[in-house]
Amino acid sequence: MILLIQYTLIFAAVLILVALGGMFSERSGIINLGLEGIMVFGAMAGAMVMVLLPSHASKATIIILTLVAAAVAGMLSSLFIAVACINFKADQTLIGTALNMLATASATVIVKAFNTSRSDGTDFSAKLDYVTGHKAFLIHIGELEVSWFIIVAALLLICSTVFFYKTKFALRLRACGEHPQAADSVGINVYAMRYAGVLLSGFLGGLGGIIYIAAANSTWHFDYGVAGAGFLALAVMIFGQWKPERIAWSAVLFAVFRSLSNVNGGIDFLANLHIPGTIYNMFPYIVSLIVLALTSKNSRAPKAEGIPYDKGAR
């Protein structure tokens, strides 16, 4: 049972951060289908920092540098979306998909090259081991093993919620996703706001990426990308109606199903049902399909999302 809670917390943290990222981007008017790719870049950068840091580095150094690396990598990769969609007014769906394909492929290539050069040609796998780094994040509360990652995610959730509802900046950002012409007419720079939205999604998506691979594992094969977690986060965002508090709840719901696939053997009741593990693995994806099919009729996406803003057109 404790294992279930542990895994649920981890997956919830990932889904919350990435879905919040998607929310900020879409609220500013840019559909971000590239969350998956952003996560991969964030994960790769964070993992590399953990591998490269000397073994005597203090815990705090490891934690901070890893998080910073993941966030920065996420933001840099999201710039790809920002430049293409805002400056060049490219199709946002295509650009997001392109980033996803690019991310997994280039992560594989980069990590392989990285391993090859470090091992003098004996190791050319796309796998990174970061046992020390993984351990640095762990803290124990009683029997429960939690990770600094989860605390960071909880703090960011609170900050995001306050930011979203209470600040001038977020009010302007939301206006740009609904009615950019109106925002423009009161002197708001729509392009800048959309850049901000996309960069925020890069920041949160990158962090989500490193949490996904490092909170429960001490090793990762980068040729798997992040196994659709970014898309799951998109489903969470839609189910959460582009609102932070609802995103938090739906992330927990999805996370429960996701963690069942990891721990079903450890819970007697479930183990006795003798359902093959693959069924549990399918669970979160099937649930997201069903949930979205049932709720999407009432979902209300930001009105201007997906439409490039053109100052001249009226």
Q: Ramachandran region of residue 89, left (φ > 0), alpha (ψ -120 to 50) or beta?
A: left
> What's the closest the beta carbon of residue 187 comes to other proteins, in angstroms?
4
Please identify, among the stretches 69-77, 131-139, 145-153, 162-170, the one whose residues bind other proteins according to the rule CB under 8 A.
162-170
Task: Pick the binder of other proteins from 101, 171, 271, 289 (CB under 8 A).
Answer: 171
Least distance (Å) between residue 192 CB and other proteins: 13
Q: 3-14 burial by CB neighbour count: b if 16+ within 10 A, else e?
A: ebebbbbbbbbb
> Residue from 44, 175, 226, 233 that binds other proteins (CB under 8 A)?
175
Tokens 């990426």 belong to 209
Q: Is the Cβ of residue 106 or residue 181 nearer to other proteins in the bound state?
A: 181
Which amino acid is present at 197? G
- # residues contacting other proteins (CB under 8 A): 20
Burial label for 191, CB within 10 Å (0-12, 13-18, 19+), is middle
The answer to the question of residue 167 lying near other proteins (CB under 8 A) is yes
Run of H or E residues at 219: strand 219-221
Assess 223 for contact with other proteins (CB under 8 A): no
Among 97, 125, 181, 217, binds other proteins (CB under 8 A): 181
Candidate list 55, 185, 278, 298; residue touching other proteins; CB under 8 A: 185
Number of neighbouring beta carbons within 10 Å of residue 186: 8
172 scored as a contact of other proteins (CB under 8 A): yes
What burial class does residue 313 get, using C-beta atoms within 10 Å of its C-beta: 0-12 exposed, 13-18 middle, 19+ buried? exposed
Q: Which residues bind other proteins (CB under 8 A)?
A: 166-169, 171-172, 174-175, 178-179, 181-188, 300, 303
